Structure 1
């Protein structure tokens, strides 16, 4: 009796496996027979089928450009160029340990500093004072072809640009570097 049920089960398993295999082969042949970019529903696309990636995964390349810099320039008239993400433009909030930049014809501009160190290149014209935070901060400024660097005191106001220049020339803030 046992031999009979085992024998009877084999043809059913073979038929099932054969049916599944036939369906898979038919599906593969149908897919291969379709012209590039045409689906079974009749929609045609402009792209031919191509492998998503080669043998190795793709690489992400960080260019350090400041995110949404165009939007910030349009809304706040501040040019933010590049940085490592540890110095970011922020809404000014007292008591938060932000770096405060003061410039002619602008409201106070605040930056949040995070991590052990950070850098940001930017353009803010006519900067005359910076209030430091808990970080050791240096700023680079230009006037004409001349470039000057200033050390910003921790948690203190520092005169920079025209307020520190004996000729009172307007300086543009071009870089901020901070470290703990």
Structure 2
């Protein structure tokens, strides 16, 4: 049975390769062997010059401009495992409390690891999700890292700063 599957795969690959080779060299009827290579190279060049550019994933957060305008949260980029969520939509969300918003900011954490770069000013407390997390915050020119335990409120930023300075949440990392 395994030998039959290998044979079928080999035949399928050979058929696809043959079709691709035929389509690359086809295009006229009067060409001799030396013209075929020249025409195929020209056809490929034309397609490459006219085709669309490459799609490169920049991990930018979708709808970041709209979210900034509506909620005053700058979401930069992430791996898709920490996403903005409606609070109380599902249990176990990460909650961020800030003085500049009248409502809490919640994130759904999926997978075993996650990353999100963002900017949320004046953060003073974070409730962890079902995974432990580390958050990076800045104050002045300093960067500080806080460990947020899972399913527990953790004072961060200005609530633990001896001078009570306003801290900006810059990054969230979850998982092992």
TM-score (norm 2): 0.68
CA distance in 2, matches of 1:129, 1:116: 23
Is 1:111 matched with 2:107? yes
Q: Cα offset for 1:105?
A: 2.4
- Paired residue for 2:150? 154
SS at match of 1:71: helix
Aligned to 2:17: none
Q: Which secondary structure state, in structure 2, belongs to the residue aligned with residue 130 of structure 1?
A: strand
Task: Provide closer, same or farther for how the CA distance between residues 169 and 137 of structure 1 changes in structure 2, counting only shifts above 3 A.
Answer: same
For residues 91-110 of structure 1, the aligned pairs below 5 Å read 91-93=86-88, 96-106=91-101, 107-110=103-106
CA distance in 2, matches of 1:67, 1:130: 23
What's the counterpart of residue 85 of structure 1?
A: 80
User: Using a 3 Å threshold, how does the CA distance of structure 1 residues 52 and 122 change in structure 2: closer, same or farther?
Assistant: same
- What's the counterpart of residue 66 of structure 1? 61
Q: How many residues align?
A: 130
In 2, distance between residues paired with 1:178 and 1:51? 47
User: Aligned partners of 1:165 and 1:58: how far apart in 2?
Assistant: 49
| Stretches (4+) displaced over 3 A | 50-54, 57-60
User: 1:60, CA displacement in angstroms?
Assistant: 3.3
- How much has 1:58 moved relative to structure 2? 7.2
TM-score (norm 1): 0.67
Which runs of structure 2 are paired with 1:26-65 in the superposition (5 Å)? 59-65=54-60
| CA radius of gyration, larger in | 1
Distance 1:52 1:172, change over 3 A: same
2:170 is aligned to: 174
If each structure's helix is expressed as a fraction of its own residues, which one has the higher value? 2
Asked whether the equivalents of residues 85 and 108 of structure 2 are also in contact (C-alpha less than 8 Å), the reply is yes
> Structure 1 unaligned runs (5+)?
1-49
- Aligned Cα root-mean-square deviation (Å): 2.2
Deviations for 1:38-92, whole angstroms, at most 9, x for unmatched residues?
A: xxxxxxxxxxxx96558xx975321111111011111111100010111000100
2:124 alignment partner in structure 1: 128
Instruction: Give the secondary structure class of the aligned counterpart of 1:151.
Output: strand
Q: Secondary structure, in 3 states, of the residue corresponding to 2:65?
A: helix
Change (3 A) 1:52 1:95: same
Alpha-carbon distance between aligned partners in 2 of 1:168 and 1:75, rounded to the nearest angstrom: 27
